[in-house]
C-alpha cells in the first residue's frame, strides 16, 4: 500500500477523500460536516432543491439530468425548511457535492445503512449516465439523488444525508483465490466452511431465534406516522414495527410487498486493509430483495475497533428484506447475499467504530438509529 499520496490501486480511505476535496475534485459550497467523511466513504448531503417526478429515469449518454427534469418534473420543493416525502412517490434532489474527478478515479454510491433500514429506496444519478449508482472515471458534473420512500413517509431537509459515495483507483475487487486467502488470514465470516464463489463470500439468514431471545426480526407496519431522518432515538419501535418471534419453526413466510429487518446467521469481519459490499446472492431468485445499503467500512466487526459481539468473531449483518408479488418462505440458513471485498488503497487512519459515532458496530438485530432502544418483555 502507498504510504503517501494517491498512487496505489484500491478504495480511497477517508484522508484521501479529504485530499480530493482540497484538490477541488469534490466540489461543495460549504465545508464537510464533522462526521461526513467515513473510513472508506463520504456521506452525500441533500441540496436545497427537490422535484417530485413522474417516473424514475436515466439520462443516457446524450443528456444531463437537468435536461430530463424539464420534461419529467411535476413540481419543485424547497428543502431549506424541510419537506415530507410521501410513500409511493419518486423525488429527485440535487446533492450539495459535485465532482471533478481525476482521469484515473471512479466512484460508486449506495444508500446509508439508516436509509436502507427505513425502506427508503435511493440511488445516485450522474449526468449522461447509463447506470444508477455508478460514477465513471474522470466525471465532472453534478450529482442527483433519486428518493422513493416505500413504507414510511420521511421528513428531510437541506443537509440530510441518505446516501454515500466510495472512490476507487484501478482494480480493487478480490477474486475467489484472493478472498479465500484473506478469509484464512482474517476470518471474514464466523463459520467453519465458508461458501466462496463468484468473487463473494456467502451470507445466510438467521431464523433460529437463538441469538436474540427468540426474536426473529421486525416487520414494518403500514400507515404509520412520518420519520424525521435527522432525529436519533426519537421514535417508539412498536409504533412502526411488529416484532416477529419464533414459534418453533425455523422459517418465515414473507408477505407480498412487506418489509422486514432480519439478521445474518454469520458474524461478519472487515479488516482494516479492505472494504466490503453486500451484493445479491442470485439475481434469478426474484421473490425478494436483500440489503438496500451494502457498504461495510474497514473495521466493521474488527476487535481492535470494538466490533466483536461475543461470542462471535465479528458482528452480525442486518438484512433489509423486501418481498415481491407472492408469498415466499425464507428458511434458517438460506443464503441471501454475498459479501465482496475490495482492497483499500491505503490503511484508513480511523476505523469504523473508532470515535466516529458509528451506529452499528458490534450490532445484533438492530433497527435504524431513529428508534428508541427496544427490548422484548
Omega cis (within 30) before 193:
no
Residues 6+ apart with CB under 8 A from 177: none
So what's the pLDDT on residue 302? 80
Cα separation, 160 vs 147, in Å, equals 12
Grid look-up 409504533 returns: 239
CB 251 within 8 A of CB 183: no
CB 348 within 8 A of CB 358: no
So what's the pLDDT on residue 2? 39
CB 264 within 8 A of CB 319: yes
pLDDT tens-digit map of 171-183: 999 999 999 999 9
So what's the pLDDT on residue 287? 67
So what's the pLDDT on residue 248? 81
CB 120 within 8 A of CB 320: no
First-residue to last-residue Cα distance in the chain: 50
pLDDT tens-digit map of 202-248: 999 999 988 788 899 999 999 999 999 999 999 999 999 999 998 88
Which burial class, exposed, middle or buried, applies to 118 when counting CB atoms under 10 A from its CB (0-12, 13-18, 19+)?
buried
Bridge-partner residues for 261, per DSSP? 218, 320
CB 344 within 8 A of CB 298: yes
Q: What pTM does this model have? A: 0.92
pLDDT beneath 50, residues of the chain: 1-7, 310-311, 362, 377
Average pLDDT, the chain: 89
So what's the pLDDT on residue 196? 95
Cα separation, 49 vs 70, in Å, equals 14
So what's the pLDDT on residue 221? 96
Instruction: Give me the sheet containing 259-268, strands edge to edge.
Output: 241-245, 215-220, 259-268, 315-323, 288-290
Identify the structural domains of the chain with CATH numbers, from first to last.
10-169 (2.70.40.10), 176-343 (2.70.40.10)
- Reference 314, options 305, 302, 304, 306; nearest CA is 302
CB 105 within 8 A of CB 137: yes
Amino acid at each position: 500500500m502507498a504510504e503517501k499520496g494517491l498512487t496505489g490501486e484500491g478504495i480511497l480511505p477517508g484522508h484521501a477523500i479529504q485530499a480530493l476535496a482540497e484538490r477541488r475534485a469534490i466540489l461543495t459550497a460549504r465545508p464537510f460536516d464533522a462526521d461526513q467523511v467515513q473510513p472508506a466513504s463520504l456521506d452525500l448531503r441533500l441540496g436545497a432543491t427537490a422535484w417530485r417526478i413522474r417516473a424514475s429515469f436515466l439520462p443516457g449518454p446524450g443528456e444531463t439530468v437537468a435536461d430530463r427534469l424539464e420534461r419529467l418534473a411535476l413540481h419543485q420543493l424547497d428543502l431549506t425548511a424541510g419537506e415530507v416525502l410521501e410513500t409511493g412517490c419518486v423525488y429527485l434532489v440535487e446533492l450539495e457535492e459535485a465532482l471533478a474527478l481525476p482521469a484515473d478515479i471512479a466512484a460508486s454510491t449506495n444508500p446509508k445503512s439508516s436509509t436502507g433500514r427505513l425502506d427508503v429506496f435511493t440511488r445516485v444519478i450522474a449526468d449522461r449516465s447509463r447506470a444508477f449508482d455508478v460514477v465513471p472515471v474522470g466525471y465532472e458534473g453534478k450529482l442527483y439523488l433519486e428518493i422513493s420512500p416505500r413504507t414510511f413517509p420521511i421528513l428531510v431537509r437541506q443537509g440530510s444525508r441518505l446516501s454515500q459515495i466510495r472512490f476507487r483507483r484501478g482494480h480493487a475487487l478480490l477474486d475467489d483465490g484472493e478472498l479465500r486467502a484473506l478469509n484464512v488470514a482474517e476470518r471474514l465470516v464466523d463459520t467453519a466452511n465458508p461458501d466462496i464463489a463468484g468473487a463473494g463470500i456467502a451470507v445466510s439468514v438467521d431464523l433460529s431465534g437463538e441469538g436474540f431471545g427468540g426474536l426473529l426480526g421486525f416487520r414494518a407496519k403500514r400507515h404509520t406516522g412520518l420519520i424525521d431522518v435527522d432525529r436519533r432515538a426519537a421514535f417508539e419501535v412498536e409504533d412502526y414495527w411488529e416484532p416477529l418471534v419464533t414459534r418453533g419453526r425455523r422459517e418465515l413466510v414473507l408477505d407480498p410487498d412487506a418489509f422486514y429487518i432480519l439478521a445474518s446467521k454469520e458474524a461478519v469481519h472487515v479488516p482494516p486493509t479492505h472494504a466490503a459490499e453486500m451484493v445479491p446472492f442470485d439475481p434469478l431468485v426474484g421473490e425478494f430483495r436483500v440489503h438496500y445499503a451494502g457498504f461495510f467500512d474497514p473495521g466493521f466487526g474488527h476487535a481492535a475497533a470494538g466490533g466483536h459481539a461475543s461470542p462471535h468473531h465479528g458482528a452480525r449483518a442486518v438484512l433489509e428484506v423486501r418481498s415481491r408479488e407472492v408469498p415466499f418462505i425464507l428458511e434458517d440458513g438460506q443464503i441471501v447475499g454475498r459479501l465482496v471485498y475490495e482492497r483499500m488503497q491505503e490503511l484508513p487512519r480511523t476505523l469504523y467504530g473508532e470515535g466516529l459515532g458509528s451506529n452499528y458496530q458490534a450490532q445484533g438485530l438492530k433497527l435504524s438509529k431513529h428508534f428508541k432502544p427496544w427490548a422484548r418483555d
